[in-house]
Amino acid sequence: MAGSWAQTAGVRLDVEVTGTPVALAAGVEATLFRIAQEALANVAKHADATRTALTLSYTDEVVMLDIRDDGRGFVPQAAADGFGLEGMRRRARAVGGTLEVETGPGRGTAVAAAVPKPSAAGCSAGSVCGPMDEFRMRGGGLARFAAPFAAPLVLFFAVCLLLGAVLTGSSALGVVIGALATAALFGVLAVKHRRLVAGTVVRFSDEGVELADSRGFRVRLRWPDLTRIDVVDTQLADPRSMGRPGGARVRVQALRSVGLVGWGERTLPPRVPGWMRERLARVPADPATGRPEVAIPLGEIDPLWERGPMGDWVRRHRPDLMR
C-alpha cells in the first residue's frame, strides 16, 4: 500500500516498524489498515504535504500506528465530515483502542491510533476481558485541569511582563506582551486537556479495572489485588520547584481525586519524562509478587463515581472497600 500510495499521491512516504511484530486479530488488523488508508487519503486530498511518515510500533501491551505529515494542517473543530476523523475514532474504539489527532493551521497533522496487543491467552494484553463497561472523561473541566499550573502561569506572566517592559521601554506594552505570552501558554494547556479528555478511558470487567490513554500509558488492577480506596495524586508535570534561588519559587501541583489503589500492572509509552521515571521508580512494590503499587483516579473520570455505575462495579466485586 505504501509504495503505490506515494507514487499516486506524489508525496514521499517513510515507513518504519519498531518493536517485535506479532499477529493481530483479523478485526484489529483491518481496523489499523482502514485507519491508515483514511489518514493517507486525507494527506493526499487536503494536506498539500511534501513528506509523510508512517510508524507502526509494537510495545509490550499496545500496538501504535502513527501517521504524520508536513502539510498545511487544519483546525480540528472546523474539520468537515469529509475528513472521516469520527469514523476513525469509532473504528479504534470498537477494538478497545484510541485515536488522537494533533494539528493546527501550518503545523501539519499527526494521527495516532493505539490498540491492545494480543496475549497468548487470546485476550488482549493489558485489557480486560468478558462483559465490560467503559467510562470516559466528561467534557469541560479545563479550569480544574489548569489549576495546578496557576502559580507557574503567574510567574511566567511576571517574567514576560518584565522582559517586555525592558525591551520596549513601556510598562503598558510589557503587560500586553506578558498577557499574550501567558494566553499562548494557556492555549497549549487547553490542547493537552482536550487530548486527555478524548483519549482517557477506564474499563471495568469481572476480571478487574484498567485505565488507558492515547499516549500508550496503561494501568491495570485485578479485583483481588485492590487494597483500598484512597486519595490519588495525579502529577501532570515536573513537580520540582522553579524560580530564582533566594526568590519566589513555584511548582506545578497535583490533581487530587478519589480512586482505586492496589498491586497491579503498569505499561509506559516509549517516551516518558525523566521526572516521571524517577517518581515511578520510588513506588513501593508487593514483596510477594513484585508488582508495583498503582492507582486509578476514578474521580478524574467522574467526581461522584462512588454513587454511579463505577461504584456499582466496586460494590459488586469488592464490597469490603466501600464504606
Domains, the chain, ranges and CATH? Answer: 2-127 (3.30.565.10), 142-321 (no CATH)
The CA distance from 235 to 241, in Å, is 13
Is 296 in contact with 209 (CB distance < 8 Å)? yes
* Grid cell digits, residue 77: 473543530
Segments of the chain with pLDDT less than 50: 120-130, 245
- Long-range CB pairs of 269-273 (<8 Å, 24+ gap) are 269/59, 269/215, 269/216, 269/217, 270/18, 270/57, 270/59, 270/216, 273/238
Look at residue 207 in the predicted model and tell me its pLDDT.
Answer: 85
pLDDT tens track for 237-259? 665 655 554 555 556 677 889 99
The H or E element that residue 181 is part of is helix 171-199
Look at residue 284 in the predicted model and tell me its pLDDT.
Answer: 92
Q: Which residues have a Cβ under 8 Å from the Cβ of 18 and sit 6 or more positions away?
A: 55, 56, 57, 58, 270
CA angle 138, 118, 271 (to 5 degrees): 60
Burial of residue 143 (CB within 10 Å: 0-12, 13-18, 19+) is exposed
Look at residue 4 in the predicted model and tell me its pLDDT.
Answer: 77
CA distances from 53 to 86, 90, 200, 297 (A): 22, 23, 25, 35
Look at residue 145 in the predicted model and tell me its pLDDT.
Answer: 74
pLDDT tens track for 286-310? 988 889 999 999 998 888 999 889 9
Look at residue 130 in the predicted model and tell me its pLDDT.
Answer: 47
Look at residue 272 in the predicted model and tell me its pLDDT.
Answer: 79
Look at residue 50 in the predicted model and tell me its pLDDT.
Answer: 92
Look at residue 261 in the predicted model and tell me its pLDDT.
Answer: 95
The CA distance from 216 to 113, in Å, is 9
Is 123 in contact with 206 (CB distance < 8 Å)? no
